[in-house]
Amino acid sequence: MHADDITAAQDSNAGQLALVVWRGHEARVVPITGHPFVLGRAAPADVVVDEPTLSREHVRISPTRTGSLEVVDLQSKNGMRVRGERVARAELQVGESMEVGGVMLLLTRTPPRRAHDLGELPLHRLLAAIDEELARQELTEPTFGRTVTVAVVASNARPLRTRSVDRRAVLDATCSCWLLPELDPRAARAMLGVERIGLASSTEARSGGALVELARRRWSDEATPTLPAPNDATPTPAPNAAAPNAASPNAAAPNAASPNAASPNAASPDAAADVVAVSAATRATFEQARKLASSDRPVLVCGETGSGKELVARLVHASSPRSRGPFVPLNCGAIPSSLVESTLFGHERGAFTGATERRLGAFERANGGTLFLDEVGELAPAVQAALLRVLETGRLLRVGGTREVEVDVRLVSATHRDLREESDEGRFRLDLYHRIGVLPIRVPPLRERPEDVVELARTFVRRAAERSGRTPPRLEPDALQALLSYDWPGNVRELHNVIERVVLLAEDRIELSDVAQHLVVASTPHTPRRPVQTWDLRARLRELEVELVVGALEVTAGNVEGAAELLCVPRRTLAHKMSKLGIRRRWDRG
């Protein structure tokens, strides 16, 4: 059965069908796309639920023409039950639930999309509306902490969350102004999802005219920092750089990693050419990198895997006086232990079997520029000692050599480990830690900078489409919201990989169903297992409601109207539900 046959499941006015899968206190939402799928404990099931009471392939679930689901038992051991009775086949209607092994399935339908009129006002009426909101803020601020934000955007910009925009007016032929009551600039940027935006809040000015002018200036001045891609140009050698006939970076040692394997963890040209710095945390990180670039002291970049540490290292190099010299990246964790010293320091002809000619190491290839050692915490103790000596003396000895070679290199290291803890436990030299960690930079994980997610996703979509020679598909609001709600344990690298897969399969639009299937699969290994404490459906539904409401309030920085928009319920309904669930205005759990 094809998706176009399932009219009820695909009707955007009626909302999308979704299957909620409960396991203990955990819940997952599986969008119904119109195609049959198998649910079970392990592959080859299409939807995998880590539950021992499930068979490997437990049930087949097929959408019907009427908008229900046909659930068929695949001769499983523990079977499936409807209202306590074991059955071999069942038809699940919207709002009905059933037990499959030790999990519970509930068929639901997402609320329909609602249109929101963004009619234009004359500028003087918009200014009056802003002044009215500012006056209301002064009356309510001691109690509720209201914030008024004004946004200036391109005239043809389309907001991700239109209901967050209260009024708008055209300023000139190129830009318009939007009023966003009860949203601070951080939440406004994340929820609107507009590429170029100038924001001003009521904490900065006390009149509509002043806010609009401030936002207009920021819209005109806003620019995203850019870096050259790794292969943009061949660096100009420094005066004392290696000779023209020196070995290429690819030939660190016989049988060593392939040319591009010198840094398999390196940032892709996509990432280097499209630095996204929307969030305050990312901007602060980049600004710190630029400030530290002027010094020649070693820099230690710390952050989770995939968070963009090499990108920061390239920014340090590009902003430093060594920017015309080479930038040599090396992933210490990807080099065979027997070749680490040769890769770093080079070797002489005859130093070992297969060494038929002299090869320059990474230090000499980076002479006059910057050497980036990714995952420096993976180096063996003997190599750590040799690295410390090079950093202290500025001289190295090639493997099999008898004469020291002087090098002029700025070292930037990166690690996802806590090197201080590693040194306390004897796995990393304390003196080397102090040597390479003179200027530390922390790269925040993607979950701490959700404002970057939308812009990164758009960037990856555009570049993936360009490589395929096609028009970039449009990211639908519900798909963007799914990306914003995910915690991205693999950070930017995981987001990039998900978008690559989605773009390959999508047509002209990327919808919730396109994104959710990849996020569900990706998040399964990271879902903590908790014991079943109750089979009370009402208690579980209440817990799920609390999780959803608190999560929406966290995304919108406590803004109730914005959270209501995310949850697709009226603001009054959400306020009543918060009171019923014991969630206070500061969105703590009661």
Tens digit of pLDDT for each residue in 496-534? 888 988 888 888 888 887 887 777 444 333 434 344 445
pLDDT tier at 258 (50, 70, 90 boundaries)? Answer: very low
Helix (H) or strand (E) holding 149: strand 148-154
Q: Which pLDDT score, from 0 to 100, does residue 266 have?
A: 35
Higher pLDDT, 259 or 183: 183
* Residue pLDDT, tens place only, 107-153: 877 554 444 445 677 777 788 788 778 777 665 444 345 678 899 88
Q: Which pLDDT score, from 0 to 100, does residue 119 have?
A: 64
Higher pLDDT, 489 or 522: 489
Across 247-254, average pLDDT = 36
Q: Which pLDDT score, from 0 to 100, does residue 536 have?
A: 66
Across 339-355, average pLDDT = 83
**Strand 59-63 relative to strand 69-73, pairing:** antiparallel
How would DSSP label each residue in 154-208? ETT---S-GGG--EEEE-SSSEEEEEEET--HHHHHHHH--SSEEEEETTT-SSH
Q: Which pLDDT score, from 0 to 100, does residue 143 have?
A: 34
* Residue pLDDT, tens place only, 530-567: 444 456 677 777 778 887 888 777 767 677 877 787 78
Task: Assess whether pLDDT exceeds 80 at residue 81.
Answer: yes
Rounded to whole angstroms, the Cα distance separating 128 from 162 reads 21
Q: Among 160-169, 280-289, 292-301, 373-382, name the one with the lowest average pLDDT.
A: 160-169
Task: Assess whether pLDDT exceeds 80 at residue 275.
Answer: no
465-490 burial string, b = 16+ CB within 10 Å, else e? eeeeeeebbebbbbbbbbbbebebbb
Percent pLDDT > 90 in the chain is 15
DSSP H helices, 193-308, are: 208-221, 269-273, 280-293
Mean pLDDT for the chain overall:
77
Rounded to whole angstroms, the Cα distance separating 299 from 410 reads 9
Higher pLDDT, 95 or 464: 464
Higher pLDDT, 566 or 344: 344
Q: Is residue 418 classed as helix, strand or coil in its secondary structure?
A: coil
Rounded to whole angstroms, the Cα distance separating 358 from 563 reads 64
Across 266-274, average pLDDT = 37
Task: Assess whether pLDDT exceeds 80 at residue 312.
Answer: yes
User: In the 8-state DSSP scheme, what is residue 347?
Assistant: B
User: In the 8-state DSSP scheme, what is residue 101?
Assistant: T
Residues 6+ apart with CB under 8 A from 352: 342, 399, 400
Q: Among 114-118, 161-165, 287-291, name the one with the lowest average pLDDT.
A: 114-118
Residues 6+ apart with CB under 8 A from 303: 309, 414, 416, 442, 443, 444, 445
Please count the CA atoms within 13 angstroms of the CA of 580 that sit on its side-chain side. Answer: 11
pLDDT tier at 60 (50, 70, 90 boundaries)? Answer: very high
Percent pLDDT > 70 in the chain is 78
Q: How many Cβ atoms sit within 10 Å of the Cβ of residue 156?
A: 8
Tokens of 101: 């092994």
Q: Kindly report the CA angle at 483 between 18 and 375, in degrees rounded to 5? A: 135
Higher pLDDT, 213 or 369: 369
Has this prediction a pTM greater than 0.75?
Answer: no
* Residue pLDDT, tens place only, 427-483: 899 999 999 988 999 999 998 888 888 889 988 998 888 887 788 898 888 888 888
pLDDT tier at 241 (50, 70, 90 boundaries)? Answer: very low
Task: Assess whether pLDDT exceeds 80 at residue 24.
Answer: no
Q: Which pLDDT score, from 0 to 100, does residue 51 have?
A: 86
* Residue pLDDT, tens place only, 324-333: 899 999 988 8
pLDDT tier at 167 (50, 70, 90 boundaries)? Answer: confident
Q: Which pLDDT score, from 0 to 100, does residue 239 have?
A: 35
Q: Which pLDDT score, from 0 to 100, does residue 57 have?
A: 92
* Residue pLDDT, tens place only, 376-421: 998 988 889 989 999 989 999 888 888 889 999 999 999 998 898 8
